Amino acid sequence: MTTAQTMRAVVFERYGPPSRLSLRKVPVPEPAAGEVRVQVFASTIGRTDTATLRAHPFFARAMTGLIRPKMTTLGMDFAGVVDAIGPEVTTYRPGDRVFGLSPDRFGAHAEFLCLPENEAIARIPADTSFKAAVVGEGAWYAHSTTSLLSKGQNCLIYGASGAIGTAAVQLAKSRDAQVTAVVGHRHLDLAERLGADRVVNYETQDFTGLGAIYDLVLDAVGKTSWFACRPLLKPGGIFCATDLGPGWSNMILGTWFAMTGSKRVRIPFPADAPGFIRHLSGLLADGRFNGVFDRSYKLEEIVEAFHYVETEQKTGIVVVNVRPEAEAEGEG
Ligand SMILES: NC(=O)c1ccc[n+]([C@@H]2O[C@H](COP(=O)([O-])OP(=O)(O)OC[C@H]3O[C@@H](n4cnc5c(N)ncnc54)[C@H](OP(=O)(O)O)[C@@H]3O)[C@@H](O)[C@H]2O)c1
């Protein structure tokens, strides 16, 4: 049980650019009945964080707060140690090493976070470090698409170097699918290491002219379109996107196809975060999923870190090292 009354947290009170974020002292949250409090060692900055900060797209405000943000501390991924438990908690005890996702409350860009024990939380596998466990967010989004794949099917993942793309390659392989990964020159080796069966350099090759057709094409970085990928699909094949697409085309087409009873164009919405985190825990434990990490930042460097994520050039995951002492002590 911590004796600290205040903690450091990154707070924003108005939507806007990263300069709206500030590191402050705020009260340590108390776990309610059924909740655990986690001392956060590591978190991440994902595109959900950057989009939520800027309230983009604008209709997201319906969920995040119309005028001002409802949750004032971002951070969906967390890894740390259970530090206190509320009444009626049965699964966790103080000292348990845990990781997970906080998609409704966010709040992991802070030293402590409370969440219900039956939400998206699991024990960190024994040989996995805190940093290696903050892999949930991009993987959760990727899983909403790769879970559509069956054994032996083939897929093309466009933009296999981001948080979603690197996860999608591994999750598709874990389902025994054949994977073609499309990446830029600097990520060719990475895509191969992740297990892609074929790697295509979008800077020198036209990925639409490979002479192959697929059960599923995923645009993991919002940089291509249904119109470009349509000839790549088998009859009944699916185009999945992580973004609205040029001129909101993915959303408009997805709605249109859904109205006609077809599922050819989709922006899969991630669901069942608790179930997914349990699944991911198993993949981490048996080494079938390994996060791809880019830079790490301290809480004090959060504004710079958000600017970096907004370049859309990161490789995999950007980490927030909430408790750098842990790394120095060999616990990182
Ligand atoms: N991360 C999330 O949780 C999340 C949530 C909701 C929606 N989204 C949406 O999902 C998409 C992906 O998110 P993410 O976090 O995985 O992306 P990300 O990590 O920011 O993607 C960055 C990667 O994209 C590659 N890239 C840039 N331009 C490219 C191009 N023209 N063709 C192919 N690859 C290109 C970059 O490498 P190179 O420049 O070397 O190719 C870089 O490695 C975004 O559109 C985002 O808005 C993300």
Distance CA 171, CA 158 (A): 15
Q: For residue 3, what pLDDT is reported?
A: 52
Amino acid of residue 39: Q
Amino acid of residue 51: A
* Helix (H) or strand (E) run with residue 47 in it: helix 47-54
CB-based contacts of 261: which residues, under 8 Å, 6+ apart?
none
Cα dihedral 103/319/65/28 (nearest 10): 80
pLDDT at 324 over 90: no
CATH classification (class only), 137-266: alpha beta
- For 156, 177, 303, the CA distances from 172, given in Å and listed in that order, are 10, 6, 34
pLDDT at 75 over 60: yes
Rounded to an integer, the average pLDDT of 168-193 is 98
Q: Which atom of ligand 1 is nearest to the CA of 312?
A: 20
Distance 117 CA to ligand 1 centre (A): 31
Residue 7's nearest CA partner among 31, 27, 30 is: 27
Distance 140 CA to ligand 1 centre (A): 15
Q: To test ligand 1's pocket by mutation, which of 44, 47, 276, 308 has the most ligand atoms within 8 angstroms of CB?
A: 47
Q: For residue 260, what pLDDT is reported?
A: 87
* Residue 330's pLDDT band (cuts 50, 70, 90): low
Going by alpha carbons, the residue nearest to atom 21 of ligand 1 is 162
Answer positive or negative: Cα dihedral of 225, 230, 234, 235: positive
Partner residues linked to 182 by β-bridges: 158, 200
Bridge-based pairing of strands 265-266 and 154-158 is unpaired
Ligand 1 pocket member 138 (CB < 6 A): yes
DSSP, residue by residue, 282-315:
HHHHTTS----EEEEEEGGGHHHHHHHHHTT---
Q: For residue 306, what pLDDT is reported?
A: 98
Query: pTM surpassing 0.85?
Result: yes
Q: For residue 205, what pLDDT is reported?
A: 97
Q: Which atom of ligand 1 is nearest to the CA of 162?
A: 19
CATH classification (class only), 6-135+291-328: alpha beta
Rounded to an integer, the average pLDDT of 113-141 is 97
Distance CA 181, CA 42 (A): 29
Distance 45 CA to ligand 1 centre (A): 13
Distance 126 CA to ligand 1 centre (A): 31
Helical axes 136-146 vs 273-285, angle rounded to 10°: 100
Rg (CA), the chain: 20
Q: Show me where the domains of the chain are located.
A: 6-135+291-328, 137-266
Distance 159 CA to ligand 1 centre (A): 6
Mean pLDDT over the full length of the chain: 95
Bridge-based pairing of strands 6-11 and 22-27 is antiparallel
Distance CA 76, CA 300 (A): 18
pLDDT at 328 over 90: no
Partner residues linked to 162 by β-bridges: 316
* Residue 4's pLDDT band (cuts 50, 70, 90): low
Ligand 1 pocket member 312 (CB < 6 A): yes
Going by alpha carbons, the residue nearest to atom 10 of ligand 1 is 242
8 Å CB contact between 110 and 7: yes
The SS3 call for residue 247 is helix
Ligand 1 pocket member 223 (CB < 6 A): yes
* Residue 295's pLDDT band (cuts 50, 70, 90): very high
pLDDT tens-digit map of 5-26: 999 999 999 999 999 999 999 9
Helical axes 163-174 vs 273-285, angle rounded to 10°: 70
